[in-house]
């Protein structure tokens, strides 16, 4: 049987049998120029003998150690980021994630492998506006890229109620309708997960940060999820987003005035982070509704 072509630490030839369709044994796989072996080491300094994943420097077991090798900082100033491995279309890959602000970083290669609309986002970089973020990958100044996407509601396929209806069927139907409406509301809130996201009831407007020098992108909060779930993505401008925000401001003001007229002025005083007033009726003796009532 063929002997390993590897060399021991003292420079002598190895006499072990070859493995893994290679001219080298398990111990000397890292000496095979045609194979990429995982860079991980244990506490004693012994190298991992597993092959690195395609396009990676580590094997599946040690993939999270990419963060230790590249050691990238969150552009928001939160500190060191971790490497999060995920399955994308049946293939294990990953991205950098900040535990503090939940932001995600994708370099140019992972943008192509993981990110939906990666070509469109890269094209939108040319019209981006300079911002105060530094790219974690190459330390260049990043730009804000304004986008408009269509994130559909997650609507299930309805439920069949057998047994001829009756009171039981009516109650069950009301309960299901309540669950469906709750799911829709949660989906709408997910569209506004990221800071600065504007949702006009149909389209989601937001700003993602990209680097023109190395092609990396930074996604705050739920921006990455919004784009991945979107059925359409287009570039837009700061002026267009400002116009939408102004329209929403007046629309919300009209809703608030109408609701005050309906309730005799007894409307909850809570205002969300997005500037939208709660329209739930409150008791005349309280300032907030049951949901936003502050503890004394």
Residue-wise pLDDT for 45-65, tens only, equals 677 766 665 656 666 656 666
Paired tokens of 55: 């396009």
Which of 43-57, 82-96, 224-238, 270-284 reaches the highest mean pLDDT? 224-238
32 conformational bin, left if phi > 0, alpha if psi -120 to 50, beta if neither: beta
Residues 218, 142 contacting (CB under 8 angstroms): yes
What's residue 75's pLDDT? Answer: 92
Residue 24 confidence (pLDDT) above 60: yes
d(CA 181, CA 47): 54
What's residue 219's pLDDT? Answer: 93
Separation in Å, CA 155 to CA 87, 158, 205: 24, 8, 21
- Between 113 and 134, the higher pLDDT residue: 134
Separation in Å, CA 234 to CA 55, 114, 147, 201, 206: 30, 19, 6, 17, 11
What's residue 70's pLDDT? Answer: 66
What's residue 295's pLDDT? Answer: 59
Separation in Å, CA 141 to CA 167, 210, 215: 64, 9, 12
- Between 162 and 279, the higher pLDDT residue: 279
Percent of the chain scoring above 90 in pLDDT: 18
φ, ψ of residue 260 to 5 degrees: the values are -65, -40
What's residue 61's pLDDT? Answer: 59
Separation in Å, CA 13 to CA 7, 49, 149: 5, 19, 61
The distance in angstroms from the start CA to the end CA of the chain is 81
Residue 241 confidence (pLDDT) above 90: no
What's residue 277's pLDDT? Answer: 85
Residue 23 confidence (pLDDT) above 80: no
Paired tokens of 111: 């943008």
Residue 99 confidence (pLDDT) above 70: yes
d(CA 145, CA 122): 10
Count other C-beta atoms under 10 Å from residue 131's C-beta: 16
- Between 189 and 207, the higher pLDDT residue: 207
Chain mean pLDDT for the chain: 76
Count other C-beta atoms under 10 Å from residue 171's C-beta: 10
Mean pLDDT of 128-138: 91
- Between 112 and 25, the higher pLDDT residue: 112
Residues 190, 184 contacting (CB under 8 angstroms): no
Residue whose structure tokens are 């982070």: 273
Paired tokens of 30: 């890292």
What's residue 189's pLDDT? Answer: 45
Residue 245 confidence (pLDDT) above 70: yes
Residue 36 confidence (pLDDT) above 50: yes
Residue 238 confidence (pLDDT) above 50: yes
SS3 category, 7: strand
């Amino acid at each position: 049987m063929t002997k390993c072509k590897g060399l021991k630490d003292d420079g002598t030839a190895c006499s072990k049998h070859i493995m893994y369709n290679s001219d080298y044994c398990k111990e000397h796989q890292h000496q095979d120029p045609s194979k990429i072996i995982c860079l991980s080491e244990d506490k004693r300094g012994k190298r991992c003998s597993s092959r690195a994943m395609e396009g990676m420097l580590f094997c599946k077991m040690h993939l999270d150690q990419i963060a230790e090798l590249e050691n990238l900082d969150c552009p928001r100033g939160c500190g060191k980021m971790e490497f999060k491995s995920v399955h994308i279309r049946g293939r294990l890959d990953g991205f950098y994630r900040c535990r503090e602000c939940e932001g995600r970083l994708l370099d140019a290669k992972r943008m192509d492998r993981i990110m939906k609309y990666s070509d469109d986002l890269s094209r939108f970089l040319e019209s981006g506006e300079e911002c105060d973020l530094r790219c974690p990958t190459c330390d260049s100044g990043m730009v804000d890229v304004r986008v408009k996407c269509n994130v559909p509601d997650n609507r299930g396929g309805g439920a069949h109620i057998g047994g001829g209806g009756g009171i039981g069927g009516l109650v069950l139907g009301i309960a299901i309708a309540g669950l469906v409406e709750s799911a829709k509301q949660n989906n709408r809130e997910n569209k506004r997960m990221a800071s600065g996201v504007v949702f006009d009831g149909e389209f989601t407007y937001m700003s993602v940060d990209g680097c023109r020098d190395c092609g990396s992108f930074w996604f705050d909060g739920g921006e990455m999820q919004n784009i991945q779930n979107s059925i359409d993505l287009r570039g837009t401008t700061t002026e267009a987003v400002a116009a939408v925000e102004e329209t929403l401001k007046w629309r919300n003001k009209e809703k608030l005035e109408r609701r005050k007229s309906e309730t005799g002025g007894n409307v909850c005083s809570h205002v969300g982070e997005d500037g939208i007033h709660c329209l739930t009726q409150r008791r005349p003796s309280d300032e907030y509704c049951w949901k936003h009532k502050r503890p004394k």
